[in-house]
Amino acid sequence: MTSAALLHLDSGISPAGSVSRTLTARFAAAWRARHDGAARVRHHDLVADPVPAVRAAYADLGRRVERKGVLSLDDVAALVESPEEEREWVLTRSLIEELRAADTVLLGSPMYNFTVSTGLKAWIDRITFPGAYVDAGTGEKLLRDTRVVVVAARGGGYGPGTPREHFDFQIPYLRAWFGSLGVAEGNVHVVTAELTRVDDIPALDGLQSLAAESLARAEAAVDAIAAAV
């Protein structure tokens, strides 16, 4: 088995009883067992260790880089013009390098108000730096072969034919965003656990068995993907 690197991100605000965190932990344990001593795992809890929101100096540096085209990370560093930009770039570069180093990205994502959580969005905004996932020399997409496993949890149901089918701005958003970074569509695996709030929300009464089926399907999908990637 060759060396493999897993970047494990969690982004739900309530660790106790978290469905997404339970499923990402299940995936990480299976993945680690499969890759044995050759595995490197970086766990970044985006709630316990939040990524600071991007500021004006981040956008200023980004615009300067965009005017030049695709640059190496060292060449971006050479364009920094102020202590504020330096602070923004130091925060950003380490996260970009973390993502670039991963063979597999495991992302736990609860749905909040039909989309991703604030902690995840802060990470997304910071690491989506112009040209950061393109080889400055060859133009090659650096994340083309990166495998992504999104574990989505949502209190309600958004499947085909449900009343809120078109309210899902979480999974389509994450698919589009990973695609925009250059991750191949076939390398993005999405596992979804729905109706997680069935015991709390009266409007979901009677859907307990659907919720249990959704969770069982999610657990099986996690196991199958962990055995394959």
Ligand X SMILES: Cc1cc2nc3c(=O)[nH]c(=O)nc-3n(C[C@H](O)[C@H](O)[C@H](O)COP(=O)(O)O)c2cc1C
Using CB under 6 A, which residues numbered 183 to 202 contact ligand X? 196-197
**Binder to ligand X among 7, 8, 20, 124 (CB under 6 A)?**
20
* Annotated binding-site residue? 187: no
Residue 110 as a binder of ligand X (CB under 6 A): the answer is yes
Contact call for residue 111 and ligand X (CB under 6 A): yes
| Spatial contact of 92 and 126, defined as CB atoms under 8 Å apart | yes
Nearest to 229 by CA among 172, 191, 176: 191
Give the burial class of 195: count Cβ atoms within 10 A of its Cβ; 0-12 exposed, 13-18 middle, 19 or more buried: buried
Should residue 154 be labelled a site residue for ligand X when binding is judged by CB under 6 A?
A: yes
Cβ atoms of 191 and 221 within 8 Å: the answer is yes
Helix axes 83-101, 56-68, angle to 10 degrees: 70
Q: Does 156 bind ligand X (CB under 6 A)?
A: yes
C-alpha 85: how far from its chain's center?
Answer: 25
Q: Which stretch binds ligand X (CB under 6 A): 18-26, 30-38, 43-51, 59-67?
A: 18-26
Is 111 assigned to a binding site? yes
Among 86, 95, 155, 169, binds ligand X (CB under 6 A): 155
Q: Which residue has the tokens 């009677």?
A: 206
Binding residues for FMN: 18-20, 111-114
Interface with ligand X by CB under 6 A: which residues? 12, 14, 18-21, 110-114, 153-156, 196-197
